Amino acid sequence: MKKSLIIAIVLSAFVGVGGSAANRRSQAGPHQAEFQAFYADFLKAVRANDKEKIADLISFPVDDWSTDIRHNVQTIKIKDRAEFLKKYDILFTSSMRLHAAKAKPEPLKDGRYVMIWKETDVECSFEIGYIDGTGYRVTSYSIGPL
């Protein structure tokens, strides 16, 4: 009896900490339908390499956008849409498009989402947040060590 009780407590604690995928989705927040519409638009733009539409789905100015030029990772600021479009090939690479089209968004507890993938020796991610009056937008892109 004690052994069964201990196992039940351990299992319930484990499920409570990690939770199931359905439970994580239920934590997605009050704007989940809006996120699904944003995500569909984002995937469509990424797959089509539609830089104008991708730019429309980013919240400017962006304070944290990582670039990787010949394995030199830097985090920069992007002032506005025009700067993003001018530097598009550096800021939104074919590798990013390939991985973003496959990455699954994960909800965070505060209503934001993150799309994470791993490359050779780094972890990359888009952060997506809800902007009042605008809806969901990409707010940052990060490259960091594994």
Which pLDDT score is estimated for 70?
Answer: 86
Question: pTM of the prediction?
Answer: 0.79
Which pLDDT score is estimated for 29?
Answer: 61
Q: Is residue 13 part of a domain?
A: no
Distance CA 92, CA 4 (A): 53
Place of tokens 């965070």: 108
Q: Is residue 89 part of a domain?
A: yes
Which pLDDT score is estimated for 65?
Answer: 98
Q: Is residue 100 part of a domain?
A: yes
Q: Is residue 42 part of a domain?
A: yes
Q: Is residue 34 part of a domain?
A: yes
Local structure of 146: helix, strand or coil: coil
Q: Is residue 10 part of a domain?
A: no
CA–CA distance from 83 to each of 22, 45, 102 (Å)? 39, 19, 27
Q: Is residue 24 part of a domain?
A: no
Q: Is residue 5 part of a domain?
A: no
Which pLDDT score is estimated for 56?
Answer: 98
Burial class (CB in 10 A: 0-12, 13-18, 19+), 24: middle
Distance CA 71, CA 40 (A): 31
Buried b (16+ CB within 10 A) or exposed e, 100-115: beebebebbeebbbbb
Domain encompassing residue 129: 29-145
Burial class (CB in 10 A: 0-12, 13-18, 19+), 136: buried
CATH of the domain at 120: 3.10.450
* pLDDT, tens digit only, all 146 positions of the chain: 433 333 333 333 333 334 444 444 445 567 889 999 999 999 999 999 999 999 999 999 999 999 998 889 999 999 999 999 999 999 999 999 999 999 999 999 999 999 999 988 899 999 999 999 999 999 999 999 98
Domain total for the chain?
1
